[in-house]
Amino acid sequence: MSSDHDQIAALHDDVHARMRARRSRGWYIAFAVAALFAIELMILVSYTLATGIGLWGNNVPSAWAFAIINFVWWIGIGHAGTFISAILYLLEQSWRTSISRLTETMTLFAVLQAAIFPVLHLGRAWFGYWLFPYPDVMGVWPQVKSALPWDAAAVSTYFLVSLMFWFLGLVPDFASLRDHASTRAKRVVFGLLALGWTGSSTAWRHYRVAYLMLASIATPLVISVHSIVASDFAIGLTPGWHSTLQPPFFVAGAIFSGFAMVLMIAIPVRRVFGLAHVITDRHLDNCAKLLLVTGSIVGYGYLIETFIAYYSGDPADHYMMFVARPTAVIFWVMLACNVVAPQLMWWRRARRTEWMLLAVSVCVLVGMWTERFVIIVRGLERDQLPSAWGNYSPTWVDLGIIAGTLGLFALLMMAFLRLFPFIAVSELQQDKLEGKCVGA
């Protein structure tokens, strides 16, 4: 057998062996902690459903608070996954292959967390289906001139397209797991998931184009989803919201926080599974560079919105930018985390040092959450009419729900890592044969 054959066989066997290896005690402890937080989330969601959202801290004037902050934050995190799997695919960036499956999965699970919030925020979540047009005897239809149905359409589309893209990419790897399964049960389950994939040239011929088409759809979709979420704000008259800057600003911020989460996932995965030869220093370096680029766009956005507040002469915007925001500690936390911390990424050694990357990623995730807090809550607390001003503070239920979604997200990611092929082996093999692979 030739060396190419040996190399792709070795690559296949190596990745499969690492996926099947027994996990350490630390893994099970982390899994148990994530499960506890997920259970806590279920309890708090049930409590909210049974009692009502009066349990939360949001009230007029801050009718939008934690729920929408968390929704925007989680949706944003998903964006880097689609960016890596679709946009970098179309740009023929072969380094993406090693981490594309992980990031696509991250997208799906992040969108699931995001969806929890607007549905609960409806108040009567069991009527959530009213957002979709269905023939009913009342003859009352969704009002599509409102931003809420836009969000429902954008987020459901994003989730479903991401799911299709993710599943289609998994099919060849499911087939490989079916053919090399250790038990009959696994063979049956993976056999069903593999849809009868044999790797025939007929299937590959259409698969290649289907994958390209889905990537072509996912690329504008990733831009459109956060643009629509940003339009929820842009169409409102609240100070700090009513600006055409919002869509590009939100998209850049979304990819920024998404890359931070990619690093938060990729670094432990390569450590735990011993995959430093597949998810290499170059992958971390590239993600860190993209963190720097998108962070710079976000910093530029802050500059422009401050300038527009000054230049427009609008008193409410002026007050928001030059008085209300600078007097809040959270505003300075946002600037430190989103503008100052990523500057470390100019330094090559920082881009290749795991703990520094993790520290900057945590900063960025915190920073992007505080950014949404500053935009949403500060704008509502200090609206045009001083007589309507009021301060907001979250309740323990608010804090418990966001912590719970972090736990559920970690739980889902760990379950995926345990049960499914989290490295796109067939794509890596193709890159290897074409001499493009930077990883293995």
Only segment of 64-72, 132-140, 263-271, 286-294 that touches other proteins (CB under 8 A):
132-140
Only segment of 60-68, 117-125, 200-208, 325-333 that touches other proteins (CB under 8 A):
200-208
Question: What one-character DSSP code corresponds to residue 62?
Answer: B
80 contacts other proteins (rule: CB under 8 A): no
199 contacts other proteins (rule: CB under 8 A): yes
CA distance 250 to 356: 26
Integer CA distances (angstroms), 345 to 253, 283, 284, 290, 360, in order: 17, 14, 11, 9, 9
207 contacts other proteins (rule: CB under 8 A): yes
Nearest in space to 230 (alpha carbons), one of 287, 296, 301: 301
Nearest in space to 240 (alpha carbons), one of 129, 333, 331: 331
214 contacts other proteins (rule: CB under 8 A): yes
168 contacts other proteins (rule: CB under 8 A): yes
Q: How far is the CB of 241 from other proteins (least distance, A)?
A: 16
148 contacts other proteins (rule: CB under 8 A): no
165 contacts other proteins (rule: CB under 8 A): yes
Integer CA distances (angstroms), 420 to 21, 101, 161, 412, 426, in order: 13, 10, 20, 11, 14
142 contacts other proteins (rule: CB under 8 A): yes
How many chain residues touch other proteins (CB under 8 A)? 69
Nearer to other proteins, 166 or 422 (CB): 166
Q: Rounded to the nearest 10 degrees, how much is the dihedral formed by the CA atoms of 252, 257, 259, 264?
A: 180
CB 428 within 8 A of CB 11: yes
Backbone angles phi, psi at 33, to 5 degrees: -65, -45
CB 37 within 8 A of CB 403: yes
Using CB under 8 A, pick the residue from 22, 143, 386, 393 that binds other proteins. Answer: 143
**Tokens 């920024």, residue?**
256
316 contacts other proteins (rule: CB under 8 A): no
Nearer to other proteins, 286 or 426 (CB): 426
Using CB under 8 A, pick the residue from 164, 339, 362, 406 that binds other proteins. Answer: 164
429 contacts other proteins (rule: CB under 8 A): yes
9 contacts other proteins (rule: CB under 8 A): yes
184 contacts other proteins (rule: CB under 8 A): no
20 contacts other proteins (rule: CB under 8 A): no
Nearer to other proteins, 36 or 213 (CB): 213
Residue length, the chain?
440
195 contacts other proteins (rule: CB under 8 A): yes
Q: How far is the CB of 10 from other proteins (least distance, A)?
A: 8
- Cβ contacts of 19-22, under 8 Å, gap ≥ 24: 19/273, 19/421, 19/422, 19/423, 20/182, 21/273
Integer CA distances (angstroms), 349 to 284, 286, 337, 357, in order: 11, 13, 20, 10
145 contacts other proteins (rule: CB under 8 A): yes
Which residues of this chain interact with other proteins, rule CB under 8 A?
Answer: 1-2, 4-6, 8-9, 12-13, 133, 139-145, 149-150, 153-154, 156-157, 160-161, 164-165, 168, 171-172, 175-176, 178-180, 191-192, 195-210, 213-214, 216-218, 220-221, 224, 228, 231, 426-427, 429-430, 433-434
